[in-house]
């Protein structure tokens, strides 16, 4: 049975701050499902059933400690229509658990193509992920006209955007750290996000606006620079855990109230059962999510 479509009467940033404070967490849990790493009982299922069961299990395990979950769309897309159906099941299940969904899709295109992506991920057709998605990662490198369709739809429907700025991978520096107008390109993206929010009719005028930025937890110095350049952007901080980022590395991203940023961990949490003899594979997942949640809390 399809759950009720979430209502979003308040701006995304307000709802995000409320959830951070209500559950006492700054943790996002990424859902990057690799079937070969699933518990044995799930590996024997067909891909659609396996992906859905794993996603549901992760959601049930982290619902009380994760501000949002972040399904990485590529791990579902690789299985074609079966993967899309599994993704649909996972995002709908998130709604039943009251957990917001940040879809990690990193889309970026122009004109009608960008509008079609915005319809797919922020639309209201219950046969698409759209109604169940609260925020989306996007790529800014085709310029402002590639952002507009997503931004307009996000403001209309009270969703959020997270624009790639300084990503957590070492190769991100190949282009993101190149100097443009006397500063690294990632800072130009951060300043542009602030400008785009100021230019957007209907954008939330609160402490934080609808355009967030993706900044790797693995680069604390760059993170501090982005925070200064974009004071009204929520920061999504991938790279916590397996990639080497620590809670202490991301302190500069948060404001005095402990808001403004969310740290993301995927593999270190969702595969926490590996190498352990446990009856319920979701128990180590929940335990590791709590450890990561608490480590963030301890440095704020």
Q: Which of 262, 240, 298, 272 is nearest to 66 (CA)?
A: 262
Helix %, strand %, coil % for the chain, to 5? 50, 15, 35
- Please give the Cα distance from 297 to 20 (Å, whole number): 11
Q: Compute the residue count for the chain.
A: 300
Q: Which of 266, 169, 183 is nearest to 230 (CA)?
A: 183
Contact yes or no for 208/234 (Cβ under 8 A): yes
Among 106, 144, 248, 290, the one annotated catalytic? 106
Contact yes or no for 7/49 (Cβ under 8 A): no
144 included as an active-site residue = no
- Distance, C-alpha 54 to centroid of its chain: 18
Helix (H) or strand (E) holding 180, with range, is: strand 179-180
DSSP 186: H
Task: Point out the residues that are catalytic.
Answer: 106
């Amino acid at each position: 049975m399809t759950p009720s479509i979430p209502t979003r009467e308040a701006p995304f940033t307000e709802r995000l701050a409320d959830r951070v404070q209500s559950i006492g967490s700054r943790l996002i849990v990424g859902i990057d499902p690799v079937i070969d790493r699933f518990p044995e009982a799930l590996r024997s299922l067909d891909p659609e059933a396996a992906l859905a069961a794993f996603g549901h299990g992760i959601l049930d395990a982290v619902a009380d400690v994760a501000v949002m979950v972040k399904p990485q769309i590529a791990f579902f897309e690789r299985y074609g229509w079966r993967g899309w159906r599994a993704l649909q099941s996972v995002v709908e299940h998130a709604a039943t658990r009251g957990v917001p969904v940040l879809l990690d899709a990193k889309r970026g295109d122009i004109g009608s193509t960008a509008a079609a992506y915005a319809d797919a991920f922020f639309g209201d057709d219950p046969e698409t992920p759209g109604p169940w998605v609260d925020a989306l990662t996007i790529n800014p490198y085709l310029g402002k006209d590639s952002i507009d369709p997503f931004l307009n739809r996000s403001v209309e429907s009270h969703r959020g955007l997270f624009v790639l700025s300084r990503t957590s991978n070492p190769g991100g520096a190949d282009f993101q750290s190149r100097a443009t107008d006397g500063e690294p390109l990632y800072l130009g993206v951060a300043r542009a996000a602030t400008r785009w929010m100021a230019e957007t009719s209907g954008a939330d005028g609160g402490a934080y606006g609808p355009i967030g930025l993706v900044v790797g937890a693995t680069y604390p110095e760059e993170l501090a620079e982005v925070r200064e350049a974009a004071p009204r952007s929520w920061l999504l901080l991938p790279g916590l855990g397996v990639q080497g980022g620590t809670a202490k590395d991301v302190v500069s991203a948060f404001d005095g109230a402990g808001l403004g940023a969310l740290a993301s961990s995927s593999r270190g949490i969702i595969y926490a059962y590996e190498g352990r003899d446990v009856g319920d594979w979701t128990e180590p997942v929940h335990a590791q999510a709590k450890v990561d949640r608490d480590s963030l809390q301890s440095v704020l």
